[in-house]
Structure 1
Amino acid sequence: MSKLGNIGAKLHRGEVSYDFIGHKKLWFTVSLVLIAISLIGLFARGLALGIEFKGGVEYQANVKVTSSTVDDFTAAVKATNAKDLGDPVVTTIGQDKVRVQTKPLAQDDITKVRAAIAKEAGVSPDQVSNSQIGASWGSQIANKAILALIVFLVLVFAVIWIYFREPKASMAAIIALLHDVLITVGVYALIGFDVTPATVIGVLTILGYSLYDTVVVFDKIRENTRGITGSNRYTYSDATNLAVNQTIVRSINTTLIALMPVGSILVVGTVVLGTGPLKDLSLALFIGIAVGAYSSIFIAPALLATFKEREPGMQALRRRVLAKRAAAGTTAVGKPVAVAAAGGGATVVTDKPTAAGAKAGAPAKQDRPKASSPVSSSRPVKSTSGAGRPQPTRKPRSKRGK
């Protein structure tokens, strides 16, 4: 078995662990900082909405791309002085095509701009393709995208509630999903990539991926906390932390495997193709998968543990567990306790959680100190049974019957 496999096995058995839930304030702080940066970028710079959302006219022409292509076509389009032209957006597609986007124009101005692009590209106007998207149609697309996101979140809340029979699990999952959306949208605002329908598809896709990873962790938490109130060994946070440790290797592996092909698509779409739906889709997927894996490990389980620890039953359980640990001389699961033996020396007693113990809510086996007492070698020692009663001694054969 590989070194990573050995670590994963030890994490699953509870032999080694990291206190993810104990450091939840750190993870919440990191997420709040990322969300604050995303909101600043969103309100300060705004989203670069694609032509599909804000409406306009798009032209495409074949041309040999050079370092001055963008500046040359921008100047040529502005020289037409078309009404309500604004600042045209000129981008290159690969090494042999240029794309020009403008605001909605009148039909005469569309023809005028098309002729200017054809002249700059050295082709006839018939070889310049153009498509017009009305502002009202773009507004409908934006509204439908927002509606799709709201419906998705409502369905997610209902499905998780039904599956886990726990509204707090639904709340934690929804907050984690909103966390992923805000950070992904903030990155788009800071980078300045166009938001297109492909971007919306990518965002909805990464929400599904993040939700899948979160449900796997929550299912392990449910397994570890089944019947937990009948035991005084673990708190809800302890069992949640064990679940995160048991699933973290799987989460890391699936995330890395998913990021490698998406990263390749992002490089091809950005460097080779230059623009288009492939770039928009891959960027949303790459950011969302990475942020979704982070929220599934650090945010969603910590939120669920925080919500559950406020319940009266879990608070009573915590008091019993802490009282038991205080009596045993330890304050945390997995910390060794030195217990003096009756005959001198010490025996180390560990309080490590195991998958079976957390699953059933019953205490695992412990190594108990063995009491030793000096015994004279000249005195015969009578054997005792398991019940602790003396056993009768048998007479020698020569004295029987006397």
Structure 2
Amino acid sequence: MSRLGHMGARLYRGEVGYDFVGKRKIWYAVSILITITAIVGLAVRGLNMGIEFQGGAVFTTPKTSVSASDAEHTASTVSGHDAIVQELGTGGLRIQISGVDTAKSDQIKAELSKELGVKSDDINADLVGPSWGEQIANKAWTGLAVFMVLVVIYLAIAFEWRMAIAALIALIHDITITVGVYALVGFEVTPGTVIGLLTILGYSLYDTVVVFDSLKEQSKDLTKQTRWTYSEVANRSINSTLVRSINTTVVALLPVAGLLFIGGGVLGAGMLNDISLSLFVGLAAGAYSSIFIATPLVADLKEREPQMKALKKRVLAKRAAAARDAETARVRTPQDGEPDDGLDDAGPDDDDGAAPAVVGPRGQRTQPSSRGRGRGRPSGKRR
């Protein structure tokens, strides 16, 4: 068995573990800080919306020797708007310009034909109206709202309403961080971005539901015992599924990282950037929230119940009594290999093996009889 597998087995059996729930205030503070940073970045920088949402034109050229930077300068100068140019695998260019109408599109097409040295008829121009992007955005928001409502209903039925609330907060946490990263990085928001955002919702819930299922099993008849509190059982559930969560997250992140850093960064595939960035950030945020946010939130909500408060009080009282009994036994019982120092009977002034002090009038001192006393002495009788 590998070292990671051995550690996972020990975590599952509860032999080792980390106190995730006990240190939940630290994780809450980290999440609040990251969320505030994402919101500030979104408010200050805003999202770089693609032409699908703003409207504009997309020009696709055949193979040309003109570089992408020169084509970008030409397109920006002619249109008066910022242009985004991407190199295609065929050697051609894909030029996106926002806020362009039909008349302006024909002018830009003619100028690009001169600068790139290609025929005007070989340049494909597609116009995108802003209404299409607005429809996509509205449908995405509708799908997101319906998804969250269905998730809350399902989790409330399958588990309980506290877990549903915690999962919903974790989802909002993940989406906020992902959108904030998009604003800070400046990646263009396209329909691929929307697809990625909707996809991460399922991944975000996966690890959370796994931990919740373990917590549900381990917390059955919890109030009938006095060994564990609900927070401790929740912490055991996180530790027992920790290696599984790490493995599934790493396996999911590896291909997404390949799309983001190799497909998008090296090959320059723009659509891959849009999808992979949202997936990469969302997967990482989802794994974090399922361990550090969702389950500690459930423990906080459950510990407010009267029966869980009473359980915690009984558990702590039992542990305090056991600690007192252990301390008493340690004082009264000598350790193995150590002489009995007589602490239970001797007074504070007794040392060096001295006899204990006698309280009250002193009686006669009794000498031990000797077997050899009087042997060899005359009996004193006269013959």
TM-score band, normalised by shorter chain: 0.7 to 0.9
1:249 aligns with 2:232: no
Sort the Cα spacing of 1:89 and 1:327 in 2 relative to 1 into closer, same or farther, 3 A.
same
Q: CA deviation at 1:342?
A: 6.3
State how far apart, in whole Å, the 2-side matches of 1:135 and 1:2 are: 55
1:60 aligns with 2:60: yes
TM-score if structure 1 supplies the norm length? 0.79
SS in 2 for 1:209: helix
State how far apart, in whole Å, the 1-side matches of 2:327 and 2:176 are: 45
The residue type equivalent to 1:69 in the other structure is A
Is the 2:64–2:118 contact (alpha carbons within 8 Å) kept by the matching residues of 1?
no
Is the 1:104–1:134 contact (alpha carbons within 8 Å) kept by the matching residues of 2?
no
The residue type equivalent to 2:308 in the other structure is M
TM-score if structure 2 supplies the norm length? 0.82
State how far apart, in whole Å, the 2-side matches of 1:337 and 1:121 are: 88
State how far apart, in whole Å, the 1-side matches of 2:161 and 2:54 are: 38
Sort the Cα spacing of 1:208 and 1:23 in 2 relative to 1 into closer, same or farther, 3 A.
same
The residue type equivalent to 1:179 in the other structure is H
Sort the Cα spacing of 1:43 and 1:339 in 2 relative to 1 into closer, same or farther, 3 A.
farther
- 1:149 match: 144
The residue type equivalent to 1:74 in the other structure is E
1:265 aligns with 2:281: no
Query: Where does 1:1-400 land on structure 2 (aligned, <5 Å)?
Result: 1-64=1-64, 69-70=68-69, 72-80=70-78, 85-93=80-88, 96-164=91-159, 166-329=160-323, 339-340=329-330, 343-345=333-335
State how far apart, in whole Å, the 2-side matches of 1:49 and 1:9 are: 47
State how far apart, in whole Å, the 2-side matches of 1:275 and 1:79 are: 24
SS in 2 for 1:264: helix
SS in 2 for 1:89: strand
Task: Mark the runs of 5 or more structure 2 residues left unpaired by the alignment.
Answer: 337-383
Q: CA deviation at 1:161?
A: 0.9
Sort the Cα spacing of 1:233 and 1:136 in 2 relative to 1 into closer, same or farther, 3 A.
same
Is the 2:59–2:94 contact (alpha carbons within 8 Å) kept by the matching residues of 1?
yes
Q: CA deviation at 1:169?
A: 0.4
Q: CA deviation at 1:94?
A: 5.1
State how far apart, in whole Å, the 2-side matches of 1:339 and 1:250 are: 42
SS in 2 for 1:147: helix
The residue type equivalent to 1:171 in the other structure is I
State how far apart, in whole Å, the 2-side matches of 1:5 and 1:273 are: 37
Q: CA deviation at 1:337?
A: 7.9
SS in 1 for 2:23: helix
Sort the Cα spacing of 1:196 and 1:344 in 2 relative to 1 into closer, same or farther, 3 A.
same
**Which is further off, 99-108 or 8-17?**
99-108
Q: CA deviation at 1:341?
A: 8.3
Task: Mark the runs of 5 or more structure 1 residues left unpaired by the alignment.
Answer: 331-335, 347-402
Q: CA deviation at 1:137?
A: 1.6
Sort the Cα spacing of 1:180 and 1:7 in 2 relative to 1 into closer, same or farther, 3 A.
same
State how far apart, in whole Å, the 2-side matches of 1:78 and 1:342 are: 89
State how far apart, in whole Å, the 2-side matches of 1:233 and 1:337 are: 19
State how far apart, in whole Å, the 1-side matches of 2:235 and 2:87 are: 50
Is the 1:64–1:96 contact (alpha carbons within 8 Å) kept by the matching residues of 2?
yes
Q: CA deviation at 1:282?
A: 1.4
Q: CA deviation at 1:267?
A: 2.3
Q: CA deviation at 1:64?
A: 4.6
State how far apart, in whole Å, the 1-side matches of 2:247 and 2:75 are: 50
CA shift digits 1:208-237 (9 cap, x unpaired): 011011000000001111111111111100
SS in 2 for 1:22: coil
State how far apart, in whole Å, the 1-side matches of 2:328 and 2:35 are: 46
Percent identity, please.
49
Sort the Cα spacing of 1:156 and 1:338 in 2 relative to 1 into closer, same or farther, 3 A.
farther
Which 4+ residue blocks in structure 1 deviate beyond 4 angstroms?
A: 63-66, 336-339
SS in 1 for 2:46: coil
State how far apart, in whole Å, the 2-side matches of 1:281 and 1:248 are: 27
